[in-house]
Amino acid sequence: MTTTPTIELKPSSAPLSDAEREAILANPGFGRHFTDHMVTIKWTEGRGWHDAELTPYAPLSMDPANMTLHYAQEIFEGLKAYRRPDGTVSLFRPESNAERFQLSARRLAMPELPVETFVAACDALVRQDIDWVPEHGGESSLYLRPFMIANEVGLGVKPANEYLFIVIASPAGAYFPGGVRPVSIWLSEDRVRAVPGGIGFAKTGGNYAASLLAQAEAAEKGCDQVAYLDAVEHKWVEELGGMNLYFVYGDRIVTPELTGSLLAGITRDSLLRLAEDLGYTAEEGRLTIDDWRRDSENGTLTEVFACGTAAVITPVGLVKSRDGEWTQSDGKPGEVTLRLRKALLDIQTGAAEDVHGWTHHL
């Protein structure tokens, strides 16, 4: 059933005071604070989507035998609401997140939420908690986290017959504190994130759980992020734990093609189009770790950057692997990286015209 339920506001909310909220917005960090409300929508077999509510943000009460806790039937999304120069608020490509959410749902044997319901739920939450959208300027935003969990109780391994869709929101400053600082990358040569035929293309918690040990190893090596290689030949560069990668060869930018084991990032897709607007050639391709090192060292690979909703565009400055390390672009943010970053952020925040129709006004 694909009817869109009406989202009802349940009152009795006790929001934070203006002063408390302002104190949080002055230094929100990433994913540490949450707004006053949330949206929940239920799905039950035979009934479809129902009971759409906008309620005060509150803990969930859950049976210890809830299937999500045991078998990880869970998917999520990440998108941002930005304050525009005229004070209004817009979302960046929410329909694309809604479509990817459906793709993830299919892979995880979950019901598909209609695109318009996904977007309506995001809109309803942002409208209600609009004072949580930071001021225009910089890259501050309100990060939205729609997600869906199985809501059946039982230990049998099967798709659940009940689900809960929730949207929560969190004010976000820069994902990497310290502004546009090049990040260091640890190359995970043994531990893979996803396998062919697996769930790598879906945005589901299991992929992130699979990435945590390598991320902890990266931190031990003094690196910020992990780059994953393909699971078969252990040589093709795929993506980072929470971001896609781009390789800049002068005026040509290349991103690893979607093989099924990496996430089809919406930022990645936006850049394929935006780069052409700025006069660069943008393409999807395949690149081995040996290509990366060789081309960096011979100077043809002029810049490397990571991109994603949370991280926007972040230059890569250093790569470390078992066999040694190399500096990328003298460890400094590159010109193409910074130009693309500004062009993207300007569209997202409403500082520049959006010719692609990516902006969703509230």
Would you count residue 200 as binding ligand COI (CB under 6 A)?
no
Could you say which of ligand COI, ligand PLP, none residue 268 binds, taking C-beta under 5 to 8 angstroms by partner kind?
ligand PLP
Which of 152/239 has CB closer to ligand PLP?
A: 239
| Least distance (Å) between residue 288 CB and ligand COI | 25
Q: Which is nearer to ligand COI, 41 or 310 (CB)?
A: 310
Residues of span 65-94 touching ligand PLP by CB under 6 A = 78
CA–CA gap between residue 224 and residue 292 (Å, rounded): 18
Closest CB to ligand COI: residue number: 78
Site residues for ligand PLP, 17-76, by CB under 6 A, read none
314 binds ligand COI (CB under 6 A): no
Q: Which residue from 242, 256, 333, 334 is in contact with ligand PLP, where contact means CB under 6 A?
A: 242
> How many CB atoms are closer than 10 A to CB 250?
12
Verify binding: residue 205, ligand PLP, rule CB under 6 A: no
Binding mask 49-78 for ligand COI (x = CB under 6 A): -----------------------------x
- Interface pick for ligand COI out of 310, 336, 340, 343 (rule CB under 6 A): 310
Nearer to ligand COI, 124 or 263 (CB): 263
In the complex, least distance from residue 181 CB atom to ligand COI, rounded to whole angstroms: 18
Verify binding: residue 267, ligand PLP, rule CB under 6 A. Answer: yes
Give the residue, chosen from 146, 206, 242, 334, that forms a contact with ligand COI under the rule CB under 6 A. 242
Q: Residue 153 CB: number of other CB atoms within 10 A?
A: 13
Judged by CB under 6 A, which stretch of 58-66, 284-292, 305-313, 351-359 contacts ligand COI?
305-313
Counting contacts by CB under 6 A, is residue 258 touching ligand PLP? no
Where on the chain is the footprint of ligand COI (CB under 6 A)? Answer: 78, 242, 308-310
